[in-house]
Each structure stands twice: as structure tokens, then as C-alpha cells.
Amino acid sequence: MQSIQIYDTTLRDGTQSEELSLSTEDKMRIATRLDHLGVAYIEGGWPGSNPKDKRFFNEMRQYELQTARLAAFGSTHAAKNTADVDPNLQALLESGAPVLTIFGKTWDIHVNDALKITLERNLELIRDSLAFLRPHCQELFYDAEHFFDGFKTNAEYAKTCLRTAWSAGADLLVLCDTNGGSLPEEIAAIMDAVSADLPEARFGIHVHNDCELAVANSLAAVRHGAVQVQGTINGYGERCGNANLSSIIPNLELKMGLPCLPPGNLERLTGTSAFVSEVANLRSFKRQPYTGQSAFTHKGGVHVAAVRRNPRTYEHIEPELVGNKRRIVLSDLAGQSNILFKAKQYGFELDKGDPFVLELLTELKNREDQGYEYSAAEASYELLVNRVLGRARTYFRLISFRILDSVFTEGVAPFTEATVMLRVGGVIEHTAATGKGPVNAMDCALRKGLERFYPNLKEMRLMDFKVRVLAGVVRDDGNSGTASEVRVLIESGDQKSRWTTVGVSYNIIEASRQALEDSINYKLFKDDQKKLTQAIREI
């Protein structure tokens, strides 16, 4: 069976995304994770362009990759130089990478307008650069930049560039849709034409996502002869991004029957996707196919009922194949099936028609009508279920709180102080703390009063805070605008997990208090559950 090589360029082309920046250490961590996933090639960077990439290749000499081969990237030599003295080509050799990839101009517009050289001189740059590098590397790839645009305007010259690169020693010719403007049928037709012109050559594909077609174009190229696919994890890249390997890999393996990872490694894909976004300090795209948190999430009651009987009714693959999992979320669209599924997740076996299920469903719909959103705040819902069933302790009660914002000097940030009165067991705690804004001040005051009773709260951090005005929820007095209800979502976390809680009120501080209180209670509840589980194991 034909296998497809995955060439990952997250560490080079992916970092051209405007919001993405990786340190040398970040790149090393991602490289080892990509190797663990099992991609064939990892393009580490352009050592001739910046010190960070040079440092990366030097540091990676200490690591022995198990599956992937490290590739260094560069360009054909400058027109004013010869190949043997070109600093960019020298940097490629000094990188020590076993695989070298260089790009060259293939579109006559770029040759004439960007390089300002003759078409013949550009062919010399391609030939001389590849011929110079050929003896010094194990594999040599040529990226035909802007190839598809070049083919559409001057097909004969674009093909001549490829013939020149192949005769100069390239092991693979990578056809690039650099501007991302081609359609799948264009990719297919041009791949066929090029394959007929150079039947002995091997081809790869490198496309961008400017028409939201990078995945489709990559798959079309594979159907028409490409043996290597270049792309990035999560589709990171310049402008609209590169071809998304998080979608391409499972499409190749599961839909087209073309292996591209070692056997059994596909289930590592979701974890790899999340790891890369975490190291890049970017929020994961929840609705990303295959690996996104919402990829196998069901919300409507009819859907959930069907999925509980047979997951194939609303899922095109088993989520476990790519390392993902099925999620059932709760909302005003929920039916009893949602409640039963979630209860089972929490360790409760309930029956349809159980009074508890009906009561909880009614409560859920009422709260959603008031503006609560439990599909985005499952921690609050889990607490609600466990409280009703008597499994969650009352860790503390907030008797009262007061927030004070004062401005003492014009142009200086307000001074914020929170005072809280808590009951913990039979003890009253009355504390105050300052913070950067009212929510942070309240958080600090609550912790100050609680940490001597619950030291594990020191592990907890607030990770994100969102406020949304609920225009559709109007108070009884008919006021809206600044008097509208607001929903606050707070994401918290510790060393091992993250969770989201919700609060709703016309008072943003009160809504924040609800979400914050739930967040603290959830941390304490989950830690208690872990202790109980551990105690049972030790018996």
C-alpha cells in the first residue's frame, strides 16, 4: 500500500503566523512531540535568516529523533553570488540537518519583478544551488514557489524550472500554491500535466489556505500523484494559514486508506494538536475537525438520544481513533438523554423518567432561559448535579462582600479593595485584599480567608475571564442597555486541568462572584474526589 510522507513545517512556515512566536526551547519541545507523533520530516527553520534557527539546529544535535528526519530550509543562492560562496547555502550546510529544502522562483512575474533577473539566470540559480548542496546531504528537496500561479501564466517556463531542479539532483519536487488561490480541480489538472512531462520525478505539495481549500487541495494533489504533503499542525501560517495537518493526516489514513504515520500513532493526533497550541500560547480552535474539543460534541436532545443508541448516527468516525473523545453538553436544547449521559460520566446510573432527571432538566432549562450557559461551563453543572445528590460538601459560605474602587490621582489606575466575610465550618473569617480590578481583588480576598483551611487553593489560578451582555434577557422593569443581564465565564486551572464556571446577573460583580465561587468550590470538590479514589485503591 502506498504511504504518504508528512513534512511538518510548523516550526518554520507556521511561525510566520502573526500571533505565533516560538523560542528555541519551544521549538525543541514541539519537535520532539512531532517525532513522537511519527511525521516523516520536521522542518526546523531557516538557519540562514536568524540566530534563533541556527541555535535550534545546534541544540537538536543532542537529540536522536526516532521517526522524523530534521530538515533545514533556505533559498537558491543570491544572483550576485556563486553557490559556493553564498552565505545562505553555507548556513544550510552548517546546520548539520540530514535533509535540505530550498525554494526557488518558478513564476516568471517573480523572476522579472522581484529578483529583477532574466529567466535564464533564474534557471542557473536553481541548477547551481541544488548541484552545490547535493553531495552534502542525505535528501534534497526543491520547493517550486508560486508554482501553480506560474504554470497558469507561463506553463512551459514553470515546467522548465522543475526539469532543471530534477536534473540538478533534487530528490523531490514540491509544487507550491504560495498565494493559496487555486481550486482543487486546478491542482489536479496541473499535477497531471506535470507528471506527464516528468514521469520519472517524485512530487510533493505545499499549499496555503487563502480560499479555505488548503486541505482539499492537498488531498487532490495526493490523488494525482503527490507522495509528500507539507503543512502545519492546526494550520498555523502566514495570512490565512498553511494546510492543516491535523485534518490532512486523518483524512489520508481514515478516508483514503493511505498510511502516513506509524501504525497506532494516529490516536496521538489530538494530544499533539493541543500540545502545539499550548506551547504556542494560542487558544485551541474548538471547532477544528477531528482534534477540536467540539468535533464530537453533541448538544441537541434528539442527537444525544440517537448517539447513545449508536454513535454512528451523528459521528463520521470513532473519536478515539484520533485521540479525541465524545462530549455531551447541556443547554435549553437538552433532553433527558443529555442528563442521563452526563450523570453516567459523573458516576450516577439513572433511568429515564426518574424524578431527579426531570427536576434537573427543568432546572437546567430555567437557568438557560435566565442566561446561564452550561455547555460552556460544565464545572458549574457538575457541581449542581453533585449538590442535588448530596455528594458535594459545603466548603464555605460567603456571608457578605464589598468592592471599593477609588481614584486618588488623575491618570493613575484605580485602587481596588475587596472585603469579604466567610463562614468556614463554625469559623467566621473577615478579610480584605487589594487587586488589579474588582474580580482580582475579590479572588485575592477569598483566597486570603480560605487558604489556611484549604492550602490546595494555592495551586489554582484564574486563566481567562469573559463577559457577555445578554441582549435577549431583559429585567422585569424592562430596562436594557447598561442595565442588561451579563454572563461571566471564568476559566480556572491548576497543574493538571482546567475548568470553566458561570455566573449571571445584571450586576457584573455579582455574576463574577457566582462564577468565582463555583470555581473555588469545584477545585475543592475535585481534590476531595481524588483523595477518595486514592483511599479506595489503598484499601
Mind listing the pLDDT tens digit for each residue in 485-526? 888 989 898 888 889 899 999 899 999 999 999 999 999 999
Nearest-angstrom CA–CA distance, 384 and 144 = 58
Do 151 and 191 touch, CB atoms closer than 8 A? no
Name which of 262, 269, 218, 230 is nearest 246 in CA terms: 269
Residue 86, C-alpha cell as written in the block: 553564498
Name which of 183, 242, 176, 235 is nearest 203 in CA terms: 176
Residue 210, C-alpha cell as written in the block: 487563502
Residue 21, C-alpha cell as written in the block: 512566536
Assess whether 191 and 82 both reside in one domain: yes
Per the structure, the count of domains in the chain is 2
Assess whether 47 and 80 both reside in one domain: yes
Assess whether 81 and 226 both reside in one domain: yes
Assess whether 231 and 273 both reside in one domain: yes
Question: Does the pLDDT of residue 267 top 70, yes or no?
Answer: yes
Q: Are strands 427-435 and 415-424 parallel, antiparallel or unpaired?
A: antiparallel
Assess whether 249 and 349 both reside in one domain: no
Please report whether residue 392 resides in a domain.
no
Question: Residue 249's pLDDT is what?
Answer: 98
Nearest-angstrom CA–CA distance, 167 and 159 = 12
What does pTM read for this prediction?
Answer: 0.71
Question: Which amino acid would we find at residue 451?
Answer: E
Question: Which amino acid would we find at residue 461?
Answer: R
Name which of 234, 336, 343 is nearest 290 in CA terms: 234
Assess whether 316 and 272 both reside in one domain: no
Question: Which amino acid would we find at residue 45?
Answer: G
Residue with cell 540559480: 125
CA–chain centroid gap for 396, Å, is 37
Please report whether residue 342 resides in a domain.
yes
Least confident span in 75-79, 157-161, 169-173, 405-409: 405-409
Domain span holding position 310: 297-370
**Mean of pLDDT values over 194-208:** 98
Please report whether residue 324 resides in a domain.
yes
Assess whether 268 and 149 both reside in one domain: yes
Name which of 105, 204, 205 is nearest 158 in CA terms: 105
Assess whether 243 and 337 both reside in one domain: no
Name which of 115, 39, 31 is nearest 76 in CA terms: 115
Nearest-angstrom CA–CA distance, 433 and 406 = 14
Please report whether residue 523 resides in a domain.
no
Following DSSP, what letter does each residue of 219-264 receive, concatenated?
HHHHHTT--EEEEBGGG--STT-B-BHHHHHHIIIIIS----S-TT
Name which of 177, 181, 238, 241 is nearest 204 in CA terms: 177
Question: How high is the mean pLDDT of the chain?
Answer: 89
58's enclosing H/E stretch is helix 51-60
Question: Does the pLDDT of residue 333 top 60, yes or no?
Answer: no
Residue 447, C-alpha cell as written in the block: 483566597
Please report whether residue 268 resides in a domain.
yes
